[in-house]
Structure 1
């Protein structure tokens, strides 16, 4: 029998993973990612865990520093996220995912963001 504190811990861990991508989505995304066999730089063994970590941050709207340790060290995940940006990987991933209506959660609502009046489209007087 599993002790109650261990059951509680396992339940919490599984709650984090409800945001993880499905096998179907992984099959679509995997070829887009760096670290494939035959490419310079070696094979990335944890691309899926990394993608799941990024999606967890997106879906929960939390800070990088609050990333559960199941996904790795938050600083490493954040640095990798930043490193991937210049190559256009995130744009390619988004282009694939927006074709599926179930991924509407990827759209960002920035209505809460404070911007300068000129940026917000306010008319001058």
Structure 2
């Protein structure tokens, strides 16, 4: 636009002088790339991805659930999905899932990765 302005190709003479536009500069910025995380899982329950999602929509399920809680085993890519009615059911569902799986497989969960959502913080999760 500066080149066009210097050549006099703008029909409006007020546009002849172009001011610094901070929004244009911000729009051209690039985000720094995140490094790729390298973790190697050697067995079941070594690394579990844990997420909570919702409320899903204005329409509830037949049971009245609007939230979704998922657990993904990084080693086998097995997925467990739980449908929840209330957000405060996250901790109890996690405890039930962990107890069930550890008894069934005979191993303990070594690492649990979350997206640092606020539903994973609180006194009950910290004590556990």
Give the TM-score normalised by structure 1: 0.30
Return the index of the structure with the highest Cα Rg. 2
Give the TM-score normalised by structure 2: 0.29
